[in-house]
Amino acid sequence: MSLSQLANWTVFIANTSADGLRQAAAEKPDAILLDLMMPEMDGFTVLKKLKENSETSDIPVILLTAKVQPTGYGQSEQSELAGILTKPFDPLTLADRISEILDW
């Protein structure tokens, strides 16, 4: 809500990992805010699939996590991410933080 209402950004929400992968390919968003902990597939698996798909490989991905040091977060995953945001976050500054990470 903060991104759409406060920053006036168009936001697409996916309820499942598979839906998110489909939406990313169809909508080609400017960026993806990806939660690490999800049912079906974790964020690293989704990230890998996004980067393997030529339609989504260039979309910057920001990982959203409650863990300061996410487990399974290695050098290869780090190089694929535009950045990491930790929870909890301030919804009033979320757009600014995303803009900062993406150098917008």
Two structure tokens written together for 98? 């995303």
Q: What is the mean pLDDT of the chain?
A: 89
Domain 2-102 has CATH 3.90.180.10: no
**Residues 31/98, Cβ–Cβ less than 8 Å:** yes
**Residues 94/72, Cβ–Cβ less than 8 Å:** no
pTM of the model: 0.87
Is the pLDDT reported for residue 71 higher than 60? no
Mean pLDDT of 28-41: 91
Is the pLDDT reported for residue 75 higher than 60? no
Helix axes of 17-27 and 43-52: crossing angle, nearest 10 degrees: 30
The string of pLDDT tens digits covering residues 15-24 is 899 999 999 9
Q: Residue 84: phi, psi to the nearest 5?
A: -130, 135
- Structure confidence at residue 40 (pLDDT): 85
Two structure tokens written together for 26? 């169809």
